[in-house]
Amino acid sequence: MPELPLRLLNSAQCDLERIALLHRNYCGVESARNITNALLDRIEHLTRFPHMGFALPDNELQSRGYRGLVCDRRFLCVYRVIDGTLFVYRVIDTRSDYRCLFRALPLHDDSNEGDVA
């Protein structure tokens, strides 16, 4: 299967920056670099295997094609494929109350939302 184009939306980019900042503050620069690279590697892997994640547990989000992929044992990458493009919406620490963030996911085709990549 060919690689899908990747659009890392602003919300996901902000999540990655927060994760890196926390790791830098608590564990150092090398840890921040390692966790960021690990998360980005898993996201990049999705461009080749977009269905490797699981359907999110909410019926409405499932019907809209949202999927999740556990990254680095404790982060959840929330994404979906729209018109052959992989959109990454969030990268969430699963130790948080992340299910409340599901309610904030857009239910329409928001492929024009600001993105980074």
Distance, CA of 45 to CA of 34 (rounded, Å): 16
Residue 5: Cβ within 10 Å count: 11
Tell whether the model's pLDDT for residue 109 goes beyond 80. no
Rounded percentage of the chain residues whose pLDDT exceeds 90: 67
Distance, CA of 21 to CA of 7 (rounded, Å): 22
Rounded percentage of the chain residues whose pLDDT exceeds 70: 83
Please give the model's pTM, rounded to 2 decimal places. 0.84
What's residue 88's pLDDT?
96
Mean pLDDT of 96-100: 68
What's residue 42's pLDDT?
95
Matching CATH number, 6-102, of 3.30.2310.20, 3.40.640.10, 3.30.43.10, 3.30.360.10? 3.30.2310.20
